[in-house]
Amino acid sequence: MSAASGNATPTRYPRHPAPSLGQSVRLVATREIVARLRSKAFLISTGILLLVSIGSVVAGGIASQNQTLPKVAVVGSAAAQIVRQAGTLTAVEADDVAAAESLVRAGTVTAAIVPAESQAGYPLPVRVIALSGTPLEVVGVLSLRPEVTLLEPSKQGEGLVYLVAIGFGLVFFMSAITFGSTIAQSVVEEKQTRVVEILMTTIPVRALLAGKVVGNSVMAFGQIVAIGLLVSIGMAVTGQHVLLGDIGPALVWFAVFFAFGFVMLASLFAATASMVSRQEDVGSATSPVLVLVMIPYFLVILFNDNPTVLAIMSYIPFSAPVGMPMRIFLGTAAWWEPLLSLAILLASTALVILIGSRIYANSLLRMGARVTFREALQG
Amino acid sequence: MLSIEHVDKRFGTRQVLTDVSFDIADGRLTGFVGANGAGKTTAMRIILGVLSSDSGVVRLDGVPLTADDRRRFGYMPEERGLYPKMKIGEQLVYLARLHGLPPASARRNTAELLERLGLGERSGDLVESLSLGNQQRAQIAAALVHDPEFLVLDEPFSGLDPLAVEVVMGVLGSYAARGVPVLFSSHQLDIVERLCDDLVIIAGGEIRANGPRDELRERHSSPRFEIRTGDDVGWVRTVPGIDVLEVNGGFAVFEAQTDAASQHVLRLALERGPVSAFSQQRPSLATIFKEVVQ
């Protein structure tokens, strides 16, 4: 019938041995990664994210180097001497009180320090003139300061804590959303284009799911590591060594927690996305997972100074990738706490993968209307 | 040989397949024919293991099919689909590798198949940039790229232009010639009639007829004959055991009560002069299909 005819009976042993589960997973994961690397949208958004993180480090470095002391106008030698002794104010000489007042009105200086009109009731021979409110940074310098004993001294400055909280929260949030929706879209693409039926007859469904999760997790983790490296290098270059030493251990833990936390989220994204058949429905299907991602982001921004909330966050699997590194940074976590939290995270990741792959396998061939959770779980 | 044995399947309260049994023999093209919703796709999905049956079993040479066996199948689902934003060549290599082919064989098979299906030039094009007909060819390539040892194709000819139909018929034939069992469904009964060796007719989830094509034809043949001679054949009316349906000069259509009666007519005609045609009317597949399904 054709030139291709050969032996008349087919060989009943496989001509090509079936690939192992690991090989299948690797093939699927590689395809996911290559598809992502070829997507312009992905390259552009990654570029922006990297630029923003390096930019914020550089901006922080510049700001810390050019910190300017508040300027005050001084009139008379007593005022000039006080300002010189304080060392945290920059003196601007003014000829008389009227000239000093006009400097204050013009906004050239924060306040003016002029000779007091009468000594009565005040220990200092000077008077402070300001525009509309008491200038605390100036008055603070002039005030008498009693000895202060801190019972629980904060390890990190408040502003820095806030910045680090936003940093962890934002990076986790952005990466989880970016790669979570990528994996969701990739699941629905296969379902919508029906290529999934060929894939299902070729490799086990769990290999397909695992390959997608692994591929996207590798990309997300790679992005996190790239950001971490850029930030570290940026800090070293801009001379913020002290900060790097403080934040280093927290960064490492963040990477570890993120790796496992993302696998869990990716499985959830894949499972929920598999329940719909069209790209238009991905958003509504995956919105419960998005909420799970957003909650830790808002919690860490609102409650980064609340030890109780942070402690709870650091043990809940969804918020642990943000909560635990935060506590490590603040120095409020005992050495065993990240390990315990990691164990909880690993156990929940395993559970989520089990349930997720069941939903995924049961939903893949159901086209059309959205699959309900009950159908997806029962099969 | 692939044997489907007593397969039942219901979706909710709807019985889709009832006690479905048939064989797909090595080296034979088995046509799977049925109306929309008759259960063809469900049966094929059960053979491929995409769906599980409620009862019954699919055996390969007497042994229940395993997932590893199924990996050696070539399957073309009714719902077509490939990655739209992937190059066609890369996509075929990917699928071949998922089936376990080493990279070099995967690339070689892809190049050969695309050439054979007339897509050699398009290997580097994205699937979404292909015309529908070419996407269909790519889909067939996807089912064949891993040197399958069994072929199950759901409507492989739908959406193909006549030229492509010929190409695909040739390809399927060459697989069967190699000893591969081939099962394909089609609405185009004329194609099935030309191509298939065996036939399975399904209606309402039940197998209505099943066997070698020629045997089925034989079975559904009516005792109806045609004869064409040089002279008027009006005399046929007088032959005992013969009911004449139509006479038109030298041409007549008649039904014979026995084989002997029809042979008697032929002998009488030859005595009177030359006979240019004498044949039993064979029913077309379409006729058999209608008869069986009703």
Could you give the CA distance from residue A102 to residue A46 in angstroms, rounded to a whole number? Answer: 51
pLDDT reading at A1 higher than 60: no
> What average pLDDT score do residues A113-141 get?
79
Distance from CA of A258 to the nearest CA of B (A): 30
Smallest CA–CA distance from A24 into chain B, residue: B98
Are residues A2 and B27, on separate chains, in Cβ contact within 8 Å?
Answer: no
User: What letters, b where the CB count within 10 A reaches 16 and e where it falls short, cover A304-341?
Assistant: beeeebbeebbebbbbbbbbbbbbbbbeebeeebbeeb
Is there a contact between A269 and A360 (Cβ–Cβ < 8 Å)? no
pLDDT reading at A153 higher than 70: no
Neighbours of A226 (CB within 10 A): 14
pLDDT reading at A376 higher than 70: yes
- What stretch of H or E contains A115? strand A111-115
Chain B residues with CB under 8 Å of A199 CB are 98
The reported pLDDT for the residue numbered A344 is: 95
And the tokens for A203? Answer: 């490799």
Are residues A14 and B72, on separate chains, in Cβ contact within 8 Å?
Answer: yes
Distance from CA of B121 to the nearest CA of A (A): 22
Instruction: Give the DSSP per-residue string, B10-29.
Output: EETTEEEEEEEEEEE-TT-E
Could you give the CA distance from residue A210 to residue A9 in angstroms, rounded to a whole number? Answer: 37
Sheet-wide strand order for B2-11? B14-24, B2-11, B55-60, B63-64
Could you give the CA distance from residue A198 to residue B152 in angstroms, rounded to a whole number? Answer: 12
Single out the residue of B267, B269, B272 nearest to residue B252, CA to CA. Answer: B269
Mean pLDDT of all residues belonging to chain B: 89
Is there a contact between A31 and B94 (Cβ–Cβ < 8 Å)? yes
The reported pLDDT for the residue numbered A26 is: 94
Chain A residues with CB under 8 Å of B72 CB are 14-15
Neighbours of A216 (CB within 10 A): 27
Mapping DSSP to helix (H, G, I), strand (E, B) and coil, where does residue A114 land? Answer: strand
And the tokens for A143? Answer: 């005030």
Smallest CA–CA distance from A2 into chain B, residue: B174
**Predicted confidence (pLDDT) per residue in A307-336, tens digit:** 888 899 999 998 899 889 888 888 888 889
The reported pLDDT for the residue numbered A336 is: 92
pLDDT reading at A151 higher than 80: no
Tokens 């949208």 sit on residue: A41
The reported pLDDT for the residue numbered A10 is: 44
Are residues A35 and B26, on separate chains, in Cβ contact within 8 Å?
Answer: no
Mapping DSSP to helix (H, G, I), strand (E, B) and coil, where does residue A274 land? Answer: coil
For CA atoms B210, B216, B219, B220, give the dihedral sign. positive
> What average pLDDT score do residues B180-189 get?
90
> What average pLDDT score do residues A273-295 get?
89
pLDDT reading at B67 higher than 70: yes
- Higher-confidence position of A45 and B59: B59
| Inter-chain contacts counted by CB atoms under 8 A, chains A and B | 116
The reported pLDDT for the residue numbered B294 is: 79
Lowest mean pLDDT among A13-17, A101-105, A166-170: A13-17
Residue A73 φ/ψ, nearest 5 degrees: -85, 135
User: What letters, b where the CB count within 10 A reaches 16 and e where it falls short, cover A141-168?
Assistant: bbeeeeeeeeeeeeebeeebbebbbbbb
Nearest CB among B49, B86, B147 relative to A15 is that of B147
Q: What is the CA radius of gyration of chain A?
A: 30
Are residues A200 and B50, on separate chains, in Cβ contact within 8 Å?
Answer: yes
Lowest mean pLDDT among A114-118, A297-301, A325-329, B106-110: A114-118
Mean pLDDT of all residues belonging to chain A: 82
Tokens 């590591």 sit on residue: A225
- What stretch of H or E contains A113? strand A111-115
Chain B residues with CB under 8 Å of A368 CB are none
Could you give the CA distance from residue B245 to residue B222 in angstroms, rounded to a whole number? Answer: 13
Distance from CA of A376 to the nearest CA of B (A): 14
Could you give the CA distance from residue B88 to residue B142 in angstroms, rounded to a whole number? Answer: 9
Residue B139 C-alpha from the chain's centroid:
18
pLDDT reading at B228 higher than 60: yes
Are residues A194 and B178, on separate chains, in Cβ contact within 8 Å?
Answer: no
Would the pTM of this model clear 0.90, i.e. be above it? Answer: no
Nearest CB among A19, A189, A198 relative to B75 is that of A198
> What average pLDDT score do residues A42-46 get?
86
**Predicted confidence (pLDDT) per residue in A54-110, tens digit:** 887 777 777 666 666 778 888 888 888 877 877 778 888 888 888 888 888 888 888
Which CATH code for domain B220-282?
A: 3.30.70
Distance from CA of B256 to the nearest CA of A (A): 38
**Predicted confidence (pLDDT) per residue in B246-259, tens digit:** 888 889 988 888 88
Nearest CB among B50, B67, B143 relative to A204 is that of B67
The reported pLDDT for the residue numbered B94 is: 95
Encoded amino acid at B19, one letter: D
Could you give the CA distance from residue A36 to residue B126 in angstroms, rounded to a whole number? Answer: 16
Mapping DSSP to helix (H, G, I), strand (E, B) and coil, where does residue B205 land? Answer: coil
Could you give the CA distance from residue A141 to residue A145 in angstroms, rounded to a whole number? Answer: 9
Chain A residues with CB under 8 Å of B178 CB are 4-8, 10
Distance from CA of B281 to the nearest CA of A (A): 28
Chain B residues with CB under 8 Å of A194 CB are 77, 79-81
The reported pLDDT for the residue numbered A14 is: 54
Are residues B79 and A197, on separate chains, in Cβ contact within 8 Å?
Answer: yes
Tokens 């934040």 sit on residue: A247
Distance from CA of B266 to the nearest CA of A (A): 37
Could you give the CA distance from residue A3 to residue A202 in angstroms, rounded to a whole number? Answer: 28
Which one of A9-13, A259-263, A327-331 scores highest in mean pLDDT? Answer: A259-263
Neighbours of A9 (CB within 10 A): 9
Is there a contact between B64 and B52 (Cβ–Cβ < 8 Å)? no
Nearest CB among B51, B81, B174 relative to A193 is that of B81
For domain B2-218, the CATH class is alpha beta
Chain A residues with CB under 8 Å of B75 CB are 197-198, 201
Specify the DSSP class assigned to residue A343: H
pLDDT reading at A156 higher than 90: no
Strand pairing class (B251-256; B224-229): antiparallel
**Predicted confidence (pLDDT) per residue in A23-33, tens digit:** 999 999 999 99
The reported pLDDT for the residue numbered A4 is: 41
> What average pLDDT score do residues A335-355 get?
93
- Domains of chain B, residue spans: 2-218, 220-282
Residue B130 φ/ψ, nearest 5 degrees: -80, 150
Percent of chain B with pLDDT over 70: 100
The reported pLDDT for the residue numbered A9 is: 44
Question: In sequence order, which ranges of chain A are alpha helices (DSSP H)?
Answer: 21-38, 40-65, 77-86, 97-106, 136-142, 158-192, 195-202, 205-237, 241-273, 282-302, 307-313, 320-330, 337-363, 373-378
The reported pLDDT for the residue numbered A66 is: 61
